[in-house]
A and B are shown apart, each in its own frame.
Chain A
Amino acid sequence: MAHSRSHIWFVGPAVLLMFVILILPIFVAGIFSFTDYNLGSTDFRWIGWKNYEALGKYSAYRKMFTASLTYVVIVVPVSVFLGLGSAMLISSLRFGGEFYKAIFFLPVMATLLAMAYAWEFTLDPVMGVLNKVLDDGCSVGWFYKFFTGSWLGFNPTESWYGGLCSDRMPNWLGNKKYALGAISFIGIWQAFGFNMVLYLAGLMAVPRDLYAAAEIDGANSTWEKFKLVTWPMLGPTHVFVVTITSIRSFQVFDTVEALTRGGPSKSTYVMVYAMFEKGVKQNLIGMGSTLTIVFLGFVLLLTLTQVFFINRKVHYS
C-alpha cells in the first residue's frame, strides 16, 4: 500500500466536484425553497413554509401530483410486465432471439425527443397513421365489430369505438382525457426494452438444476415451473427493475415538454416539468427549489425502499 501523497491528487478533484456539483446544490435548493426569490429581482424574503403549503393549496399542484403519480402507476406495471413477458418469450425461443432483442431495445437507444416527434406525428388527429387506421376501420366489417364489442352482444353505437366512428377520432395529445395516456404509452414504449434486458440477465442466472428438480418433483407445466422456480428466483431482479423504472418514470420530461407542455389543462403537468416551468421559464427560484426538494424526497424514498426490500425479503444467504 502506497504511503505517498498521490491519493490526494487522485481523490481530490472527484471529491471537490462531488461536493460542488452534487451535494452543494441540494443545500442551495433547500435554502431557496424557503424564500420567494426570483431571478431578476434584487432581493428576496424569507417566507418559511409558504411554498410547501402552496403545494397543498393550489389545484395546479394537486394536478401535478396526480399527473406524476398516475403516470408512474401506469408506466411502471405495464413496462415491467412487458419487459418480463418479452424476456420470457425470447429466452424460450429456439431461434430469432437476438433479432427481437435488438428491436425491442432500439427505443432505449434512440433520442427520445426525436422519437417523441415521430409519435406526435403518428398520433396527429388529422394526418396521423393511427387515426387513419381507426377511421378506415370503421368501414371494415370485422374490425368494427371486434372493437365495438358487437360480437359480444353490445350495442356498437354505444361503445367507445363506435362513438368515435360516428363522430370523430380523438385528438390524442390535445384531449385532456387522453393526453396523459398517450404520454404514458410513449413512456412504456421507451422503457420496456430496458426492463427486458434486465430480466433476460436475471433469467439466465437461474440455475438449470432447479428446473430439473422441479420437473422431478412433479411440476408438469410451464406455469408450475414459473410459480415454483422462475418467479421466486427473479426476486432481486423484480425489486431492481421496479425501482429503476419508477425513478425514471418520475423523471419524465422530454415528451411532456415537447408534445403537451403540461397540458391540456395540466393533465400532463408532471413534477419535473413543473420544476422547469416554475424555476426556469417563470424564474420563480423559490418555488422551483421547493419542487426540487419534494422531487428529491420522492426519489430518495423509492431508492431506500429498494434497499430495504433487497436486504429483507429477498435475502437468500
Chain B
Amino acid sequence: MKQRTNWGSEAGKHIVLIVGALVVILPFYLMLSFSFKSPSEIQSISGGFFGAQEMMTDHRCLKAGRSEVECTMLPIVYNYRAAFEEAPLLRYLLNGVIVTLSIFAIQVLIALPCAYALAKLKFWGRDVVFGMVIFCLLIPVHAIAFPIYLMLAKIGLTNTYAALIIPWTISVFGIFLMRQFFKTVPDDLINAARMDGMSEFSIVWKVMLPTAIPALLAFAIFSVVAHWNDYYWPRIVITGDHDLMTPPLGLRMFKSDMDGNEYGPMMAAATVIVAPLVVAFLLAQRRFIEGITLSGMK
C-alpha cells in the first residue's frame, strides 16, 4: 500500500478520537478529583483537579464532641479516612479478594481435569458430557441467579461466603476454553508421561497445567475481573451481613448509609474499589484485552 501519510486526515482522526477519549475519561477524572476535594468545592465544582487542599472542618466530628483540632484536616485525608472508617472499606476489599480468588481457584480445580478428560481421554458418555457443556454455555448466569437464590435460601445458606462462591465454581466457559487448548497438546507428550508411570491425576497437574499457562492467564483475568466487579449476585444473596459484602455491594451500602453530602468519601471509596483492576490493566494491557475478548469467543 502507498506509504504516503495524509497528515490532514491523520489529524482529523486524532481530533475525533481525542473528543471520544475525553468523554470516556470524564467519570474517572471526576471520581478521582472529587475524592480529593472538600464538600464545598464539590458543591461548587471548583478547585481544579486536586482541589485547593485547604484545611476543612468536619462538622459531624465536631457534633460528636471532639475538639476543633482533631476535626480539622485536609480534604483528601478526610475523604479517604471516612471511606475506610465508616464503610469498612478494608473489610470489603478483603472480601473481594477472598471471594475472587476462591472462585478462581475452585474453577480451575474443577474445570482443568474435566477439560483434560474431554480433550484427551476416551470414555463412554464423553460426547454427552461435552454436549452438556455446550448446552450450559447458552445459559446466562443472570437468568438462573434467582432460582439458585431460592435453593440457597431454602437450605439457609444465604449471607455466607459459600453463597457468594459456590454458584460460580462451575465455569463452563473455563472448561470449553481449556479443552480447546488441550486439544492442541500433542498426544505423544501425554503418552510419554504415561509410559513414565505417571498417574492420570499427575498428568493433569504436572503436564497439562504448565502448557496451559497462557490460556489460564486469560481465563484468570476474565474470571477475576468479572467477579470483582459483580454486583448482581452479591446483592441478591447478602441481605444483612455487612461483613460479607464485596466491594461493589459495600459501596452501595455506603451510599445508602451516608447522609446526602458525603460525596467526597463516596468517590474516595469508589476510587479505591476501581483502582486495583485499572492499575493492573494499564500495566498489562494486552493480557487483559486477550482475556476479556476470549470470554466472548465461545
Contacts and interface: CB of A to CB of B under 8 A. Distances in A.
- A/B contact in complex, CB under 8 angstroms: yes
Contact of A86 (B20, B199, B251, B263): B20
Nearest to A126: B43
A118 B255 CA distance: 12
B interface, over-half SS? helix
Given A10-B200, A296-B139, A109 B146 contact: no
Interface of A: 1-2, 4, 6-7, 9-11, 13-15, 17-18, 21-26, 28-29, 32, 39, 82, 86, 89-90, 92-94, 96, 98, 100-115, 117-119, 121-122, 127, 129, 132, 189, 193-194, 197-198, 201, 211-212, 215, 240, 244, 247, 251, 253-254, 257-258, 272, 275-276, 279-280, 285, 288-289, 291-292, 295-296, 299-300, 303
A197 B14 contact: no
B197 interface: no
A90 B110 contact: no
A114 B273 contact: yes
Contact of B236 (A32, A100, A127, A276): A276
Contacts of B25: 103, 106
Contacts of A23: 132, 136, 139
A292 B143 CA distance: 6
Contacts of B31: 114-115, 117-118
Interface in B230-274: 231-232, 235-236, 247-248, 251-252, 255, 263, 266-267, 270-271, 273-274
Contact of B1 (A6, A104, A212): A212
B104 interface: no
Given A21-B170, A257-B235, A115 B146 contact: no
B5 interface: yes
Given A23-B136, A106-B28, A275-B146, A15 B17 contact: no
Contacts of B232: 253-254, 272, 276
Interface in B131-189: 132-133, 136, 138-140, 142-144, 146-151, 153, 166-167, 169-170, 172, 175
Given A18-B132, A104-B21, A247-B140, A110 B274 contact: yes
A117 B251 contact: yes
Contacts of B21: 100, 103-104
B16 A89 contact: yes
A interface, over-half SS? helix
Contact of B267 (A18, A121, A240): A121
Interface stretch (B52-60, B61-69, B211-219, B289-297): B289-297
Given A114-B270, A197-B292, A22 B144 contact: yes
B133 A1 contact: no
A25 B236 CA distance: 15
B80 interface: no
A89 B292 contact: no
A262 to B, nearest CB: 14
A258 B252 contact: yes
Given A110-B278, A113-B229, 7 more contacts: A2-B122, A6-B200, A105-B288, A108-B292, A111-B270, A112-B231, A193-B24
